[in-house]
């Protein structure tokens, strides 16, 4: 006899909450917002759990819901920049170790558009193929390719120090 939907959902959450939290953190850049994003995603998914299970792979549906939820948040919370009399000097990233690199990557990711960030997180953090990323985001493979290209180009502009790190590590 198959497990009850509540048991199945509980088992899924127990097994996947850490991975979902890591992805949410990379999307939001804030541990508290990441936790809220995961919770809100799981609440939405729980309402349709039986239908999701009948569709096959629940991971793709949950990831897609997570990324779409994040984009909705971003659209709602986007604010105009506050004018200031004098702009602060940008912080220079001095690559001394893995922690500095991780901080630089997170900072650069935060400055990307949500869809570009989602594509990079799925492709390079979650290690999904272009086809799997397209399914997760509900877009074509061509869109994934162009978003990846544009996001990487923007990262090179936003954080040239990261490109230098890549050349050094080769």
Q: What pLDDT digit, counting tens, does each position of 37-76 carry?
A: 999 999 999 988 888 888 778 888 999 899 988 888 776 6
pLDDT for the residue 167: 46
- Whether 9 and 82 map to the same domain: the answer is yes
**133 neighbors 146 (Cβ within 8 angstroms):** no
Reported confidence tier of residue 119, pLDDT bands at 50, 70, 90: very high
Number of domains in the chain: 2
- Whether 68 and 133 map to the same domain: the answer is no
Residue 132 pLDDT greater than 80, yes or no = yes
3-state secondary structure of 138: coil
Domain that holds residue 144: 94-170
What is the spatial distance between Cα 27 and Cα 34, in angstroms, rounded to a whole number? Answer: 8
Please tell me which residue, 156 or 38, carries the higher pLDDT value: 38
Question: Which residues 6+ apart lie within 8 Å of 35 measured at CB?
Answer: 21, 24
- Whether 115 and 166 map to the same domain: the answer is yes
- Whether 61 and 119 map to the same domain: the answer is no
- Give the residue from 139, 114, 125 showing the smallest Cα distance to 21: 125
């Amino acid at each position: 006899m198959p497990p009850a939907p509540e048991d199945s959902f509980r088992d899924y959450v127990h097994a996947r909450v850490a991975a979902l939290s890591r992805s949410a953190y990379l999307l939001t850049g804030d541990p508290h917002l990441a936790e809220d994003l995961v919770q809100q995603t799981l609440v939405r998914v729980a309402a349709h759990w039986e239908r999701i299970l009948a569709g096959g792979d629940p991971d793709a549906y949950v990831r897609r819901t997570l990324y779409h939820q994040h984009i909705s948040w971003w659209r709602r919370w986007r604010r105009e920049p506050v004018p200031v009399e004098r702009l602060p000097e940008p912080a220079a990233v001095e690559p001394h170790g893995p922690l500095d690199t991780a901080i630089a990557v997170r900072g650069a990711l935060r400055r990307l558009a949500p869809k570009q960030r989602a594509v990079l997180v799925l492709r390079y953090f979650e290690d999904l193929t272009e086809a799997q990323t397209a399914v997760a985001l509900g877009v074509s493979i061509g869109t994934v390719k162009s978003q990846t290209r544009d996001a990487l180009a923007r990262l090179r502009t936003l954080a040239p120090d990261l490109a230098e790190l890549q050349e050094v590590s080769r």
